[in-house]
Structure 1
């Protein structure tokens, strides 16, 4: 329950009332599109599988539609929300002041030094959940930030642009398969749970969205011997995705693996040097990077 009975950020009329009251509007520069459909909130909450004592980080709470639902589900847990917009932070602090398990940080999540905050709150590696309705322009860097950080969430439940969601879950051989697909699927089991129409947002975006879950407790079963080399291989494969793998690895900018080492690694990994990188599964990329690691 919000402290103000008139505070209703979920319905279109309630949202417009709040924005009008405070003289605010959705800022394009922040990629703000406010969700105004309780059924979609139900789907997000269901896929998070929240327990009453769960710890949660929410990125981009906006006016608190999802925030309120999370707080209802975790009375014995902690919710840390991170919001860049100063004006929205002011409203959230006012309307959610009754919740003693809610804290709010005004910051750009891509620049904020989060580790100290997590340590202070007792959030441990693979022992909290990340939930967000993400501005489309920060989706990929934010996912990578949380996949690669020292203290990772056990699960991410994210609302993202449909195109990005389909890139994340893409299989080898398709046009959507790329660096993001491999990076996410290496660290987590990724699943699209629901597609979302633009009509449930104010203002309406020009694209469809999707709810995607990333389970970091279920990463790819095979691991690279040297992850730095593995991700160099992945980046090289897709810098110029029309190139054959042999040329990609030996001519990619900032990689420049020696041609003789590339040829030998491909031979040992039993990979056709004329195949394009987009055809290779994660397992085969791991095998190739492991062979390169032995040779370099």
Structure 2
């Protein structure tokens, strides 16, 4: 699908890329093929979030065991239903993924993430779906945050939260010229492989998330101050000091220096203190 194809389709259906939904369409066939090959869809149950005009949908659906696409934009739903519906290869759901009640039955989830809600989509996938492989396109700046190392400028709550659920790596970067309209930023295609969850009880996992929020809400603050002053936790200073001492974590360290393993250890310390 090239720029000319997209202009013809959008004109015929009275469509236009919607900035509200962060819509940019792939027009580079070699990149499309690279994405399809990276997804390894053969014999897999695949969910695509935000198929748009379906540039990767049919190539993936041709190889997948089953293929479901959820699209929020009614104009694109109409185009996809009329174009690909008769093939019987695509199950199309007209809904907002963040509010949908989609059944958790997929092996692979694929998406060109809209910039305005990319983190919310990833968090929902992480917490509510069991798919082993997640393959997503996103702004390179965000991809760098996802794979950041402790102590780096880009390391933060997003990094720690997603690294709890996934092993992530950038497979390749995509230039702006591969999209229409051309975005102002570079994109990356990211692979995220599911990890076993450390905490088995929901309330313990929720405590982990509260601690991550607490540590990073006061970025550049010491760990002791962040946890003591956190709006997400209610812990007195002496309690926090005792927990940090038992965990072998210095109270004057800053949150962005902590590894995932240290966040888990800190969570265990808080749980054991209650």
TM-score normalized with structure 2 length = 0.95
How do 1:131-146 residues align onto structure 2 when only pairs under 5 Å count?
131-146=110-125
Partners of 1:139 and 1:167 in 2: CA distance: 12
Aligned counterpart in structure 2 of residue 167 of structure 1, from 140, 145, 157: 145
CA contact (8 A) 1:236 1:249 kept: yes
Q: For 1:108-187, list aligned pairs within 5 A.
A: 108-115=96-103, 118=104, 123=105, 127-149=106-128, 151-187=129-165
Distance 1:39 1:256 in 2: 53
Cα deviation for residue 109 of structure 1 reads 0.8
User: Deviation per CA, 1:207-266, whole angstroms, max 9, x where unpaired?
Assistant: 1110001111x347x558722221111111100111100010110112122222211111
The Cα of 1:178 is off from its aligned counterpart by: 0.7
3-state SS, counterpart of residue 183 of structure 2: coil
Question: Given the alignment of the two structures, is residue 191 of structure 1 paired with residue 182 of structure 2, yes or no?
Answer: no
Where does structure 1 differ by over 6 angstroms across 4 or more consecutive aligned residues?
A: none
Please, which of 33, 40, 47 is the counterpart of residue 24 of structure 2? 33
In structure 1, stretches of 5+ residues that fail to align are 1-9
1:157 and 1:211 in contact (8 A); partners too:
yes
Match of 2:90 among 99, 102, 110: 102
Q: Distance in 2 between matches of 1:154 and 1:99?
A: 27
Structure 2 counterpart SS, 1:57: strand
SS of the counterpart of 1:230? helix
The answer to whether the 8 Å contact 1:130/1:153 transfers is yes
Separation in 2, partners of 1:286, 1:31: 35
For each residue in 1:141-185, what CA deviation from the matched residue of structure 2 results, as whole angstroms up to 9, or x when unmatched?
A: 000001001x42111100011111111111100111111101111
Please name the residue that 2:77 is paired with: 89
Cα RMSD (Å): 1.5
Following the alignment from structure 1 to structure 2, what is the Cα–Cα distance between the partners of residues 22 and 102? 20
Matched residue, 1:6: none
Does the 8 Å contact 1:128/1:153 carry over to 2? Answer: yes
User: Structure 1 length as normaliser, TM-score?
Assistant: 0.88
Determine if contact 1:224/1:286 at 8 Å carries over to the other structure: no
Alpha-carbon distance in structure 1 between the residues aligned to 2:90 and 2:41: 16
Aligned positions of 1:39-78 closer than 5 A: 39-51=30-42, 53-74=43-64, 77-78=65-66
Q: Which residue of 1 aligns with 2:188?
A: 210
The 8 Å contact of residues 213 and 232 in structure 2, kept in 1 or not, is answered as: no
Deviations 1:80-129 (A, max 9, x none): 101111111111011102322311111111111223xx4xxxx2xxx521
- The runs of 5 or more residues in structure 2 that have no matched partner are none
